[in-house]
Amino acid sequence: MPFSTLPPLLAEALSARGYTTMTPVQASVIEEGARGRDLLVSAQTGSGKTVAFGLAMADELMTDGAMPPPGLPLALIVAPTRELALQVSRELMWLFGKAGARISTCVGGMDASKERRSLGHGTHIVVGTPGRLRDHLERGALDLSATRVAVLDEADEMLDMGFRDELEALLDATPKERRTLLFSATIPRPIAALAKAYQRDALRISTVGEDRGHGDITYQAIAVSPSDIENAVINLLRFHEAETAMLFCATRDNVRHLHASLVERGFGAVALSGEHSQTERNQALQALRDRRARVCVATDVAARGIDLPTLSLVVHVELPRDAETLQHRSGRTGRAGKKGTAILIVPYPRRRRVEGMLRGARIAFEWVPVPSADDIRAQDSERLLETLLAPVEADDADRALAQRLLAEKTPEELAIALVHQARGALPEPEEMIDRDTPGAAETRTEGPRRGFEDTVWFRLNIGRSQNADPRWILPLICRRGHITKNEVGAIRIGPNETQFEIPRGTASRFMSAFVRSADEDDGVAIEPIAGNGPPQTPRGAPRGGPRTGGPGGPRPHRPSNAQAGRRR
């Protein structure tokens, strides 16, 4: 038996669950040198941490291979979010189920009176979130005086969320001779300080980069205009057609907006953010599990601890704040030996920052183009062929209906109708504004193209010094001037200004719309250039150049991502 060093009932549970070997973190915590010691463990999300600390604390919980009668809790496990606490509880339930373990879960948003009754009837393991556990402790419902082992799961996240006081109160209520196991993706200074205060001669274990690391996750990055981010999301979802996909946004407002846009376009989507009640969160997760929805739009904290076996695609709609957040988000996929894909949508001006973050995290990735409408339709055709050519079981009623259809239509007509019906159920892909836009990168020296024989040249007070790039300048011009990309001629970017041409018949309407749509704080100024013909060289206007409304405006700067990507 591969788990001969474990209590027999736990070994049976692992085998029944399909385990044939242990992950590095699971093997490390049950080595002889780790038994009975405090542990400070850093391991990636999805590396089997829950089973690892379940195995690590087995000696403290079990007597002669089984659990004693339930009473005061012997183990305390604290997790940052409700979802993660519930997931931990489910994992420990099958691991210790054969041993007769009783597990109580205490999380915010659930019925506190039921939790108090569960604690009062006796338990072995308490799993919960910091705030709810402290509330039960202060009300006298939770007695930690018999606790033999305390586990802080994703301790770095709990400190980031401001739960230091709650964690210290809980640990102070446990006996000093208890074991303390800290599991954290990273060990920043606050975690090290917590370990020093509450652990004794802790064994440091790190499995980051071993075995899994990022091996089961393919990382890709796509560069887009800030105004094209939402269209890029649509095309990625349509191109991959993942069984379950998760989209990460930075704020609950952005989650709400993107979720509404997806539903409007015909995607089966749910949302998870701090504004949703526990009932709403449970309903959303259930919709994903039973396939009524295939897309989840979430904030970082709301998605903590979510384990969806069918999740194969993670899209970072808004960039994570650091490499650790990137790994936590991406770790929702590529779990339990399955392959996953994590895609970062990168506004053009932030390419270098993203490349630096990924290199610093030692994550192998590749830049890929945004799927075009043609790419998506080609993928649709391949998937449809695969589906329709797969063998199916048919009963007599199916055959009778098929014969009736063949009597009315030819096989070709029926096949066309079937294809049309299948395609009609799919949301349409979006045309990316910066794909196939010759005007965006054009520096023309030949004669004008059709429709641009008579043009007006304009000047923007942003240039290379402000990271101006045709791929985000063109969408900005179109969005603010209420014109299409086909109405923009050559674009010439100088050190401190950008010049571009508009057909004369469009120029007046364009100028009025651009000025009306100007944001007071974005610092982007526009003015027509005197004369009809294109200037020979872009003039390097000073950074404090005049605004259309007169002098004295703020210094020009490249628009922020939020401003550049504001919905049209």
Q: Where are the domains of the chain?
A: 8-206, 217-374, 438-564
Q: Which two tokens stand for residue 555?
A: 């210094």
Candidates 292, 291, 297; CA nearest to 313 is 297
Q: Which helix (H) or strand (E) holds 286?
A: helix 278-289
Q: Helices marked H in 30-123 — which ranges?
A: 49-56, 58-61, 82-96, 112-120
| CA separation for the pair 458, 526 (Å, rounded) | 7
Candidates 217, 185, 213, 223; CA nearest to 354 is 223
What pLDDT is recorded for position 564? Answer: 39
Q: Is the dihedral of CA 109, 111, 116, 121 positive or negative?
A: negative
The predicted model scores a pTM of: 0.54
Q: Which two tokens stand for residue 174?
A: 């446990």
Q: Which two tokens stand for residue 431?
A: 């045309």
Candidates 212, 245, 208; CA nearest to 341 is 245
Candidates 119, 116, 118, 171; CA nearest to 149 is 171
Q: Which helix (H) or strand (E) holds 446?
A: none
* 8-206 and 217-374, same CATH topology: yes
Q: Which residues contact 175 (CB under 8 A, 6 or more apart)?
A: 145, 146, 147, 148
Burial of 565 (0-12, 13-18, 19+ CB in 10 A): buried
| CA separation for the pair 396, 394 (Å, rounded) | 7
| CA separation for the pair 221, 445 (Å, rounded) | 34
Q: Which residues contact 308 (CB under 8 A, 6 or more apart)?
A: 244, 246, 285, 288, 289, 296, 332
CA distances from 374 to 193, 239, 289, 452 (A): 55, 10, 31, 29
Q: Which neighbouring-strand residues pair with 347?
A: 224
Beta strands (DSSP E) in 437-509 are: 455-460, 491-493, 498-503
Strand pairing of 125-128 and 103-106? parallel
183 near 155, Cβ under 8 Å?
yes
Count of alpha carbons within 13 angstroms of residue 335, beta-carbon side: 23
Count of alpha carbons within 13 angstroms of residue 502, beta-carbon side: 24
16 near 8, Cβ under 8 Å?
no
CATH architecture of 438-564: 2-Layer Sandwich (3.30)
> What SS3 class is residue 367?
strand
Q: Which two tokens stand for residue 553?
A: 């405006």
Assigned CATH class of 217-374:
alpha beta
> Sheet of 311-316: strands edge to edge?
269-272, 295-298, 244-248, 311-316, 340-347, 217-224, 365-367
> What SS3 class is residue 447?
coil
- Which parts of the chain have pLDDT scores under 70? 1-2, 44-46, 208-215, 302-305, 335-337, 433-451, 518-522, 531-568
Superfamily of domain covering 8-206: P-loop containing nucleotide triphosphate hydrolases (3.40.50.300)
Candidates 183, 174, 178, 169; CA nearest to 199 is 178
Number of CB atoms found within 10 A of residue 198's CB: 20
Size of the chain in residues: 568
